[in-house]
Amino acid sequence: MMNRRAFGLTLGLSVVAASTARGLTAKPPRLIKPKRLSEGDTVGLVLPASNEMAADDIAWGREQLEALGFKVQMGRHAYDRHGYFAGTDRDRAADVNAMFADTNIDGIFCYTGGWGTPRMLPFLDYDLIARNPKALIGFSDITALLNAVYQRTGLVTFHGPVAGSTFNEYSAENFRKVVMSNEAAGLLEPPEKRPSELVDRTNRIIHLSPGKGTGRLVGGNLTLLAATMGTPYEVDTTGAILFLEDIREEIYRIDRMLTQLALGGKFERAAGIVFGRCTECQVRPSGFSLEDILRDRFGSLGVPAISGLSFGHIENKLTLPIGVKAMLDADEGTLTIDEAAVS
């Protein structure tokens, strides 16, 4: 994954200059649920952000989707290279628009994240997307796309594995439960304990602030959510269960981004907060731990909060439907999906 340290400084200017849209933090339109995916359906495969240097890696991602039972249609610009992007901003957006417009496409997977999705947001046809609802799946940099589409159109989107992810049994089964079933996913169970662990350490839940909260799920990668603050695409957390994760960030940068969201009122307006994993995040010997920072930010809010849920840049990935009603029980350390995410 590309290092994303510096892009927040220029994102706001580039996106606002390119877009005439405003008010995405207002209440989203009526909720739209895409049709559930079934084996034999055709899914589109797009690269809305970074390119992939090895064409065979994209072929591997396509084969993974085929192994899940789908037919796959590649985006026109999937193999393009424009600097470190998979094509120009307009071309990457055109691929997403085309997949929604194509009546033969039943759902849309992103191949990878990296960096670049926020740059294409002004060029998406949100009216077209709303008229042609389909499951849109990805995570990491795709966070910006998922939340913008939900907030502008009301379409439920899915923070889940990209085609380039590892689809182990846990990740694949959870994906099927959320995206390929029109029943509520219910309680999101943790992965099985590792045989080498007497008491589960890998999947341990940390209780940050007690209580229960109910609201629609929003969120994703912390870096992307912080980068879109002050733009027409910043996340609306009012009455929502906000979920966050990140990778390869030093703790002081996690602190900085959480502070940015806190100063923007994003935490106090939420009904609950779930921090997943911070994979390969560096802790300096003389500094704060991640737990220190999370307790500092969430512990005194009066909003239920936990960390350690299994989503993000890890092998065992939950698929979280953005826009769907969920219940966080911070006392028990559980998250429950209360309604079906697909029709």
Q: Tell me, what's the pLDDT at 29? A: 81
Sign of CA dihedral 72, 73, 75, 78: positive
Q: b/e per residue, 93-122, with b = 16+ CB within 10 A? A: bbbbbbbbeeeebbbbbbbbbbbbbbbbbb
Which pLDDT score, from 0 to 100, does residue 5 have? 42
Output the six-digit token pair for 268. Answer: 């106090």
* Cα–Cα distance for residue pair 114/330, rounded to 1 Å: 31
Interatomic CA distance for residues 20 and 174, integer angstroms = 38
pLDDT at res. 284: 79
Positions marked catalytic: 140, 245, 313
Asked if residues 159 and 139 have their Cβ atoms less than 8 Å apart, the reply is yes
Domains of the chain plus CATH, in order, are 8-179 (3.40.50.10740), 186-337 (3.50.30.60)
Under 8 Å CB-to-CB from 174, ≥6 apart: which residues? 160, 185, 188, 317, 318, 319
Q: List the beta strands (DSSP E) in 163-239.
A: 186-187, 206-209, 212-221
Q: CA geometry: angle at 232 spanning 126 and 153, to 5°?
A: 25
pLDDT by residue (tens digit) across 312-343? 999 999 999 999 999 999 999 999 999 999 99
Ranges under pLDDT 50 in the chain: 1-25
**What's the confidence (pLDDT) of residue 46?**
98
Contacts of 255 (CB under 8 A, 6+ apart): 288, 293, 297
Question: In this structure, are residues 24 and 122 in contact, taking their beta carbons and an 8 Å threshold?
Answer: no
The predicted structure's pLDDT at residue 27: 66
Q: What is the pLDDT of residues 147-168, one digit of tens each?
A: 999 999 999 999 999 999 989 9
Predicted pLDDT at 236: 97
